[in-house]
Copies of this chain bind each other. A is one copy, B any other.
Amino acid sequence: MGEFELIARLAGRLSPAGATVAIGIGDDAAVFADGLVACTDLLVEDVHFRRSTASPADVGWKALAVNLSDLAAMGAVPRGALVALTVGPGWSTDDLAAVYDGLRACADAYRCPIVGGDVSRGPSLALAVTVLGHAAVPLVRSGARPGDILVVSGSLGGSEAGRHELERDAATADPALAARHRRPRPRFDAAALLAGTATAMLDVSDGVASDARRLAESSGVRVVIDLDALPLQPGVAEVARERGVAPGAFAATGGEDYELLATLPPVAVPEGVTVIGRIEAGAGVTFLGAGADGVVAGWDHLA
């Protein structure tokens, strides 16, 4: 059983939260009636990162950044974060200090102070970061409507290409691709541009192929994606071709880009986003363009 199936099965055992939260399990974050937004994401050694390809400070940065990306996707601003950390035997106090320096760098960059936490011995390093924020008008996954266009911020495929480069040889990896993998940047800037017009929004954590599927399910629509239209980070096409994959298919299935995927009425497209598809009546995701027949679901943390 994969991660998403398991989450769905486990979530079904929990108490109905509708009386307390406006938006519960299944979106990027929970939203309470007063606009309080909260979400939590794990970063686990040898599952989400390897010590050979990420410094301790990178690990700290990324653990907070991936959570902030969820806040950005809700149209929320950060209020604070809590960090629960298990420490494996191979991590020195200096390593942990560097993890915290990375957390702090990200906290300072996005004005999200770390207000609490817990630390425990454990079999490996794992960080569970919880971020709290506020959204005056939360942007959910369920608002996409037939006729909307599908847009993505920034560029795709860079984190996955960076991961491949780093795992082959960290010393010769393309610095921009490596940085994209190690230090994702939550797109609060793009969220602000999309906030006025987007009908639905989520962050691209597992690849647009997977995230579009969630959008389709939450909104009850069909999502059509043109793989040839995906904006690729420079260097991604080369890495994809080396691996014998069409660049668009590579970018659609590579995780951890932390861009924003949004739907809009087909009127004005904000600057800095790219139209990559459309919303139709129906269900599921349809891929067009080179490599469309080979696109499968993205990253699964239990697989």
Binding site for B on A (CB under 8 A): 1, 3, 6-7, 9-10, 13-17, 19-21, 24-25, 29-30, 32, 36, 38-42, 44, 47-48, 79-80, 82-87, 93, 96-97, 100-101, 103-104, 107-108, 113-124, 126, 128, 130, 132, 301-302
Contact = CB atoms under 8 A, between A and B. Distances in A.
B21 A121 contact: no
Contact of A6 (B6, B93, B122): B93
Given A6-B93, A21-B113, A119-B7, A130 B14 contact: no
Interface-centre pick from A13, A96, A132 (highest chain B CB count, 10 A): A13
Contact of A30 (B80, B123, B302): B80
Copies assembled: 2
B116 A13 contact: no
22 contacts: A3-B121, A6-B96, A10-B97, A10-B119, A14-B107, A15-B104, A20-B79, A20-B80, A21-B115, A24-B116, A25-B115, A32-B79, A32-B115, A36-B132, A40-B117, A42-B85, A42-B128, A44-B120, A48-B120, A118-B128, A120-B301, A132-B132
Contacts of A36: 36, 79, 132
Nearest to A43: B120
Contacts of A39: 82, 116
A41 B118 contact: yes
Contacts of A85: 42
A101 B114 CA distance: 31
A301 B17 contact: no
Given A42-B84, A86-B44, A116 B301 contact: no
B15 A84 contact: no
Contacts of A84: 40-42, 84, 128, 130
A108 B150 CA distance: 40
A21 B7 CA distance: 32
A38 B107 contact: no
